[in-house]
Structure 1
């Protein structure tokens, strides 16, 4: 039973649960924004104020394609928001960190291992190397 308690309260599981809840609330927020602002705005140009009311019937079966259009708009907005406000900034930040680390390390000319630019001897093959000046 203690293993199960440890599993339930370990950091990754709690973080995942929080992420799922925040994601669901964020999805609701984007859907509400789409319904309240984007769909009516598109209705000004397209003539249909609410896509959810669009449907057609074949042999008594109703196909509500308007609800799909609303969901598609919500999805595209959510994906765009996540890309421009989460993915893109994180990618830029990770590239900066990679460049900073790259600037502090170099390749050993003898064994091609990664060593500090300030090193005078390779920690892997023990060859003597000339330290590089920080730029």
Structure 2
């Protein structure tokens, strides 16, 4: 039982996940700063109200008291989620994908160059063997 747990915990995926959680927690401050300091004020400038938390409606209950439903908190949460997701996608995921694509292309170019060099070398060896075989058959 403990051996199985040890294998599970030392598996690469679990370690990668742990690293991702730590980096994500550290990176959340950067993304929050971007959203809170730039994107939300930009939305406020465009539409006039960056803070949606005050949006609410009131309903009376059966005792005659009113209950406040703060739908603005939900709206604010959805907007923050979408903005943070967009910031991560455009400022992290897309650049990383581009770097990976460039790296992969560079590796493929290196492999193609190596193969081209091998083809040239093998062609030279073949030609040398043909000339040696032709010269040896003429000497007989």
- TM tier, smaller: 0.5 to 0.7
Quote the offset at 1:43 in angstroms: 4.7
- CA 1:59 to 1:27, structure 2 compared with 1: closer, same or farther past 3 Å? farther
Match of 1:112 in 2: none
Q: Secondary structure at the match of 2:58?
A: strand
- CA 1:65 to 1:58, structure 2 compared with 1: closer, same or farther past 3 Å? same
Match of 1:125 in 2: none
TM-score of the superposed pair, with normalisation by structure 2: 0.56
Q: Which moved more, 1:37-46 or 1:48-57?
A: 37-46
Q: C-alpha separation between the residues in 2 aligned to 1:93 and 1:33?
A: 22
How many residues of Structure 1 are paired with residues of Structure 2 in the alignment? 117
- CA 1:58 to 1:21, structure 2 compared with 1: closer, same or farther past 3 Å? farther
Residue by residue, what CA displacement relative to the aligned partner does 1:67-103 show, whole Å, maximum 9, x if unpaired? Answer: 1221122112212221222211112112212322332
Which ranges in structure 2 are unaligned for 5 or more consecutive residues? 62-66, 125-140
TM-score of the superposed pair, with normalisation by structure 1: 0.58
Q: Which has the higher helix share?
A: 2
Contact 1:39-1:49 at 8 Å conserved across structures: yes
- CA 1:31 to 1:55, structure 2 compared with 1: closer, same or farther past 3 Å? farther
Match of 2:112 in 1: 105
Structure with bigger RCO (C-alpha 8 Å, 6+ apart):
2
RMSD over aligned Cα atoms = 3.7
